[in-house]
Each structure stands twice: as C-alpha cells, then as structure tokens.
Amino acid sequence: MTLYQVYDTMVGLADLERSEKMAAYMRHQFDFLGIPAPLRRQQEKTAFKAAKQTKMVDWDFIDHCWQSNYREHQYFGIDYLVAMEPFLIAVDLAKIEQLVITKAWWDSVDALSEVVRKLVCRLSALKVEMLRWSLDDNLWLRRVAILHQLLQKEQMDEPLLEEILVNNLGSSEFFINKAIGWTLRDYAKTNPQWVQDFLLRYQTSLAPLTVREASKYL
C-alpha cells in the first residue's frame, strides 16, 4: 500500500472505546482513532519499505498528516520521518521545527526529538541550531534541544550539553525541568562524575524535580 492508502485505512480501524481512553490520557487535547501503536506500525511497514526506495522525503504527505484531526495520523507522519531520516538534508530541520511547534504536546515533541537527534548527529553543523532552539520562546523547541543528545553516551558533546542546559536553568516549566533531569540521568550512566559536577556547579539554579531525576543513577 502507498502512504496515502495506509492513511485512509487507519480510519477504518477506529476503536471508539480505545480512542476515548487515549484521548483522556492526553488530557483531551486531541481526537484519537483508538489504534494501538503495534497495529499502526504493522500497517505502516509495507508503505515505508516502498517509500525508502524513492530516497526522497514526501513533505506534502507529512503536511497531510499534520492537517488531520486524528492524532494517529501525526504519529504516522513522525514514524515516516524516523524511517526516512537518512534522506533528510540540513534545510529540512526548519520544516521539522514547524512540526515541533504545531499541534504540540510531549508525545509528538519527544518522538520528533529522535529524528532531530539522528539528523544533528549526522550533520554536526546543525548543532548551532540546537543552541538557537535552546533559547527560543517556544518551550517545545527548548525541550527538543535539551533532549536531542539522549543516548549519545561517549559521543556526547559535553560543552554543547552544558550550554543548552544552562540556557534553561531557572525555569518553572515542568516539561523543561523534567527534560533537563532526564538528560542528566541518561548521561549519568556514562559519565556520572560529569553529572555530579554539573549538579554541584548549578545547584542554586536547579529545580528539585531536575535534581531528583538527575540523581537516580548517582
């Protein structure tokens, strides 16, 4: 099936009971079809295999997904971007930026951070954009900047990490403080001394939530 055929097929898989539960979990910010992730990905599989053969990202299709009232269609668009990440180019980051801030909530934002992580890792010149995002008024762009080096382990760019985190210290925003703690917690598995030193250096500016998260593996 093509991407658009899978998109249309999803509507036929709607489950009202499950959709109500999914909407409630996301604080009723979006309408859901009620399709569980494993079933959605099963539907996507064949379409992604064909899409990869084109070696070109269909941004019109992604826009189509974002125009949908159903959240699973945005998930579909994100899954497509993850699959097609090797074919993204530097200018595509600006398009991803618009996706981050449109119909934004933690579910789409955190999933898009995976795409950003892989893209910036592959195209290191885009690190400067992560610094810009870390200072943006939009909290979701700042969250992606904070999270984009998750799982980097020994490849972590520590100066970049510190600058991005420092740019966001003193925030009262839950999603920012949680992200800082999450990132530090993850890196503590690789370099606990660096994380301990960071917590000590900036202890007066760190939210209690951040410290709790960051200290889990120390």
Other residues' Cβ atoms within 10 Å of the Cβ of residue 54:
10
Model confidence pLDDT, tens digit, residues 62-103: 999 999 999 999 999 999 999 999 999 999 999 999 999 999
- Mean pLDDT across 173-185: 98
- 172-199 mean pLDDT: 98
In this prediction, what percent of the chain has a pLDDT beyond 90?
100
Rounded to whole angstroms, the Cα distance separating 50 from 140 reads 32
For the purposes of burial, counting CB atoms within 10 Å of the CB of 121, is it exposed (0-12), middle (13-18) or buried (19 or more)? middle
CB of 177 closer than 8 Å to CB of 142:
no
The pLDDT mean for the chain works out to 97
Alpha helices in the chain (DSSP H): 3-12, 16-25, 37-54, 59-67, 71-84, 92-101, 106-122, 127-134, 139-147, 158-166, 174-188, 192-201, 208-214
Task: Extract the tokens encoding 212.
Answer: 């709790």
Prediction pTM value: 0.95
Output the CA torsion 156→177→106→122 (10° steps).
-10
Residues 65, 70: Cα–Cα separation, whole Å: 9
Question: Over the stretch 129-163, which tens digit does the pLDDT of each residue have?
Answer: 999 999 999 999 999 999 999 999 999 999 999 99
The pLDDT value given to residue 166: 98
Q: What is the pLDDT of residue 86?
A: 97
Could you report the per-residue pLDDT of 1-46, keeping only the tens digit for each?
899 999 999 999 999 999 999 999 999 999 999 999 999 999 999 9
Task: Assign 209 a pLDDT band (cuts: 50, 70, 90).
Answer: very high
The whole-number average pLDDT for the span 182-197 is: 98
What pLDDT is stored for residue 208 in this prediction?
Answer: 97
